[in-house]
A and B are shown apart, each in its own frame.
Chain A
Amino acid sequence: MAYKYCTATNWGKNFFTHEERRQFYLSGHPGEVWVVGDNLYGDQWISKVSGAIKSKDEAQAIVTGEIETAQAAYDALSAEEQSRQTRPVTYNLP
């Protein structure tokens, strides 16, 4: 499956609808990054939410940066606080 990448701020209700979820792949990631199925409906959704198109590398860099920030925040916690949470892990966008 081919994807497009963008950033967009989730405004809540109707940011994405059930109908849209059935029409194209959509997944949200840290840094307001969205991975969007590359079809007509995905394009229409990016336009609807005023998404800022990113390359995959750009999108990955945003996500990784967010996770590394969260990792640093976790590492700064006390041992007791760490025991109540888990350390975020980096991952690759599809």
Chain B
Amino acid sequence: MANYKDIKGFHVQSLSSDPIASQVLGGAWASGGDLNTGRYQAGGAGTQTAAIIMGGGPPYTADCELYNGSAWTEVNNLPATKGAQAAGGTSTSSLTYGGYPGSGPSNVATAESWDGTNWTAVPSMNQFRGNLAGDGASNTACIAVGGFVNPPTGTTAKTERYNGSSWTEVNDLNTARELLSNAGTTTASLAYGGATTTKVANTEEWNGTSWTELNDMNTARSGLGKGGTSTSALGFGGLTTTNVANTESWDGTSWTELSDLATARKQLVGAGASALSALAFGGYTTTAVANTEEWTAPSDFSQLNLGQVYFNSSSTNAFKVTETSVPGGTWASGGNMNEPRKNLMGQAAGSKTAGLVWGGKQAPPTSITKNESYDGSSWTEVGDLNTGRQNSGGAGTQTAALAIGNSSSSGITESWNGTGWTEVNDLNTGRNYVMWSGIQTSALAGAGYTTTMVNNTETWDGTSWTEASEVNEARDSCACAGDSNTSGLIAGGYHTTSPPTNTQNTEIWNGSSWTEVNNLNGKTRAGTGGGTTTAAFCAGGQNDPPSGPPWQVTTANTEYFNGTSWTELNDLSTAVNEQAGRGGTTGAFSAGGDPSPTGLNTVEVWTAALENKTITVS
């Protein structure tokens, strides 16, 4: 029988598991050797193959054990029983501090140092507390974070640092909490999760001086396990309203869901060098447990590769292809613009890695001429417009753009060559809130606002504007897409003033006329859009509320048009309207806008995901 290569001339690779985006995503938990004594609320430190557990309870214990990668061995006890404490260091040099001694009303500030053989009492923290977090490099360099002080104080934000001889109080956490986790060192550390009066997902980074809020965990929880550093950490298990098994990894910017623990539990102990290798031990299910699980992300994995076709020979036995997945895309924060501004609808060109934004409004409310270019990470001031403008149209790229119209009575158009703006022929009908599409030499302007909403269409051939067939529904402030003066899309917009309502209508321009297609899901105006007539997006804007005024409700909604219908995508992180934006369904940016008295300078960037999809074969 002929094989596939004989017929087609190339092999289809056979893989035992699907390609993944990064090493950590291939990780999984395997069972390790059980603790000799099941326990929770214990302290722990070390790595997957060399860890220590100390104390824990209730019932509170002084018992300590060492893990060698296979089994736990009893070692010398703490000087006294203790649970709900923090710990940091290694299996041969660790420190445990704070906690509850198992009797009496008060948490303690005491600290004990482990030298690999024995425990020695060392100076106490300044603030007694339990349910705190901590970590550190050794028994002479640890950090104590948050926790619970006896009533009436309750949760605390206090942070202290130990240098081998004394504790020093340093800057507080931004959010006081208990039952949180902490990974890292005294100079670079991450605090995450925990409980205030409720479970929280907050993440804060310590730079040796102060704490900074970063992106939240996906699942708010308390009593979670930890491992790693401030730039490569794991959070696993814990308590939401019930015990959970969720595992998340931190890459220095955001949290990603990974494979779950086999056994959901709270107040477990964690250890590990990074998000690639960690240990979960002990905890509470309906009782204290001795379970140990080992997290390993294999260094040998197949990297996601757009367009790769392969056969999965393991659990699914299927032919698959790695494709761009628009529905799996997400918005992330981008570099902030230098100038905050709003009334920016349409006033952008380019892409998420080579963008341009011009004009808009600040306070006091006059049009500005500022122009900035984006390289995918930061914005640079470039040549100003000749005429300031707000909520007009735009087309083109970062180095060849067109600014279309500038007010309800002016059709001033300017052309950008990458260095400076030049006035070119005006629109025939002066307007703003206009629909746009295309490039510098082949553009489209439709609908918009003069003293009322209009449906005029004009096409641009690189030199002048020519009247064309009208949009079916007059409106302004629409989402737009399209790549030339023969291909455009207009979606949503503001279409009546009495009563004030938005439309969901979508129309497509084919070079000679507009045709109605399926509606947007939301009645939306004043968002941004981009893409083509077969792959467009609409993000942010303002929606009609379910009933009555206030009728403008700023939204974070994102929708995707596939040439036939609109589908909801992942939201912007922040609701915004009248922002600038450009790009397509696989990558785009949204910059500035409202709501803000002076305009925003914040930017979000859309990136579609790569996804492995099964190929139907017959």
Residues of chain A having any CB pair with chain B under 8 Å: 10-24, 26-30, 39, 41, 66-67, 69-70, 80-81, 84-86, 88-89, 91
**Least Cβ–Cβ distance between A5 and chain B, in angstroms:** 15
**Known contacts A12-B33, A14-B31, A80-B105; is A39 also within 8 Å of B315 by CB?**
yes
Contact across chains for B286 and A91 when beta carbons are under 8 A apart: no
Contact across chains for A27 and B263 when beta carbons are under 8 A apart: yes
- Please, how many angstroms separate the alpha-carbon atoms of A66 and B374 in the complex? 58
Contact across chains for A23 and B314 when beta carbons are under 8 A apart: yes
- Please, how many angstroms separate the alpha-carbon atoms of A27 and B314 in the complex? 20
Residues of A within 8 A of B33 (CB): 12-13
Q: Mark B205-230, 1 if CB is under 8 A from A, else 0.
A: 00000000000000000000000000
Contact across chains for B287 and A70 when beta carbons are under 8 A apart: yes
Number of B residues contacting the other chain (C-beta, 8 Å)? 36
- Please, how many angstroms separate the alpha-carbon atoms of A45 and B336 in the complex? 52
B34 lies within 8 A of chain A by Cβ: yes
Q: Which of B32, B245, B286 contacts A30 (CB 8 A)?
A: B286
B383 lies within 8 A of chain A by Cβ: no
**Known contacts A66-B286, A67-B286; is A21 also within 8 Å of B239 by CB?**
no
- Please, how many angstroms separate the alpha-carbon atoms of A30 and B242 in the complex? 13
Q: Which of A15, A18, A91 contacts B28 (CB 8 A)?
A: A18
**Known contacts A22-B28, A84-B100; is A30 also within 8 Å of B285 by CB?**
yes
B292 lies within 8 A of chain A by Cβ: yes
Q: Which of A17, A69, A84 contacts B286 (CB 8 A)?
A: A69
Residues of A within 8 A of B314 (CB): 22-23
Residues of B within 8 A of A85 (CB): 58
Q: Which of A10, A19, A23, A69 contacts B31 (CB 8 A)?
A: A10
Contact across chains for A13 and B71 when beta carbons are under 8 A apart: yes
Contact across chains for A91 and B84 when beta carbons are under 8 A apart: no
Q: Which of B26, B30, B100, B242 contacts A16 (CB 8 A)?
A: B30
Residues of B within 8 A of A23 (CB): 314-315
Contact across chains for B315 and A81 when beta carbons are under 8 A apart: no
**Known contacts A12-B31, A89-B242; is A21 also within 8 Å of B286 by CB?**
no
B365 lies within 8 A of chain A by Cβ: no
- Please, how many angstroms separate the alpha-carbon atoms of A70 and B58 in the complex? 14
Residues of A within 8 A of B285 (CB): 29-30, 66
**Known contacts A12-B292, A88-B286; is A18 also within 8 Å of B242 by CB?**
no
B17 lies within 8 A of chain A by Cβ: yes
B70 lies within 8 A of chain A by Cβ: yes
**CB interface residues, B 86-127, toward A, < 8 Å:** 100, 105
Residues of B within 8 A of A15 (CB): 31
B574 lies within 8 A of chain A by Cβ: no
14 CB < 8 A contacts A-B: A10-B34, A10-B263, A13-B31, A13-B33, A15-B31, A21-B29, A21-B262, A23-B314, A80-B105, A84-B100, A86-B239, A86-B266, A88-B286, A89-B242
